[in-house]
Structure 1
Amino acid sequence: MTTTPPHTDPVMHAIGLAVTEARGGDPAAARRALLDLWERTGVTGDPLHRCALAHHLADLHEDPAEALVWDVRALDAADALTGARVREHHAALSIAGFYPSLHLNLADGHRRLGSFAAAARHIDAARAHSPALARDPYGDLVRGAVEEVADAIARRDRAPRAPAPGPAS
């Protein structure tokens, strides 16, 4: 089986460009670009595209309720993904590695809205899926964020967290 390099998927490439634009200081333009891609992809489109789009769109909404809607869409799309589709995009990826971050984001959104029981359920799911993360800087970042959000949940802290650093994905 051959793998398709990530840059040959025009939608994933466009998502990466928009994320880079957001991190470069223009989140409004990035949000418009991602929303346009979402409209073209549709709710029944490629689950990989929907997952990536929704995941990044959630990060571009300051309102935790709006972000949570996108986080739910990202998790739903991940549940529709197949391992073959993920590997077609990039041979080193696995669906299992998506879930810690997706549940972390849901936990954080619920926490910010004061829904601490739902936040705790998702942080528990993030922890349960964390063994799928590699022992690398990204995995360490997600594991650290899981513990940070778990601590905030325990303190009933609703304050926003700083956005995660890192390259466009």
Structure 2
Amino acid sequence: MEQREVPGDVVMTRIGQAIMLLHAGDREEARNRFGVIWSEIGESGEALHRCTLAHYMADTQDDLEDELAWDLKALKAAESLAGEAAVERAAPHRDAGAVRAFFPSLHLNLAADYLKLRRFGAARIHLDRAWDAAGVVEGDGYGGAVRDGIRRMEQRLRRSVAGE
């Protein structure tokens, strides 16, 4: 997921720093920092913060059920923001566009979680939702990577269902 930082957004800066730790291979320190930030913002924090943090926190988990729980929190946060934007059509929330671009990746991650848990029906539902949401992402590096990921997940799911 591509992170989009609002100028002066201290929380997003801190989340970005933890993401850099994660990408550098320090999962434990990233998980610790995400945990501290989550304890500060919680379930009622800004949707973009919750979505971004939960999306990356999922990647720091060792337990598949914990990874799934964080990916579900990310989706819930994104859906809450999308819902707010739908209510406020005349003046959409400033983060609505950024979160809409997250949906394909969020559903792709959930499809992967469910596939690892061998819950093929749930994996299919989220893979289909990832395909449906992929139309909102650009043809840039992020959009291409998401679409490639969806195609690879499609193949993995087919092989798993076939018992290969």
Identity of aligned residues (%): 36
Task: Tell me if the contact between 2:130 and 2:150 (Cα under 8 Å) persists in the aligned partners.
Answer: yes
Moved more, 6-15 or 105-114: 6-15
Q: Deviations over 1:28-80 (max 9, x none)?
A: 00100001100100111111111111001011113221110000000000011
TM-score, L = length of structure 2: 0.85
Q: How does 1:51-70 map to 2 (within 5 A)?
A: 51-70=51-70
Instruction: Provide runs of 4+ in structure 1 moved above 4 Å.
Output: none
Between the aligned partners of 1:29 and 1:94, the Cα distance in structure 2 is 26
1:150 paired to 2:159: no
TM-score, L = length of structure 1: 0.83
The count of residues paired between Structure 1 and Structure 2 equals: 149
Q: Which runs of 5+ in 2 are unaligned?
A: 86-91
Q: How does 1:1-169 map to 2 (within 5 A)?
A: 6-81=6-81, 82=85, 83-86=92-95, 93-156=97-160
Q: Which residue does the alignment assign to 2:89?
A: none
Q: Counterpart of 2:39 in 1: which secondary structure?
A: helix
Q: Which runs of 5+ in 1 are unaligned?
A: 88-92, 158-169
Could you say if the C-alpha distance between residues 5 and 22 of structure 1 is closer, same or farther in structure 2, counting changes exceeding 3 Å? closer
Between the aligned partners of 2:95 and 2:56, the Cα distance in structure 1 is 17
Return the letter of the residue paired with 2:128.
D
Higher relative contact order (CA 8 A, sep 6+): 1
Could you say if the C-alpha distance between residues 40 and 7 of structure 1 is closer, same or farther in structure 2, counting changes exceeding 3 Å? same
Between Structure 1 and Structure 2, the one with more helix by share is 2
What is the CA RMSD across the aligned residues, in angstroms?
1.7
Return the letter of the residue paired with 1:72.
L
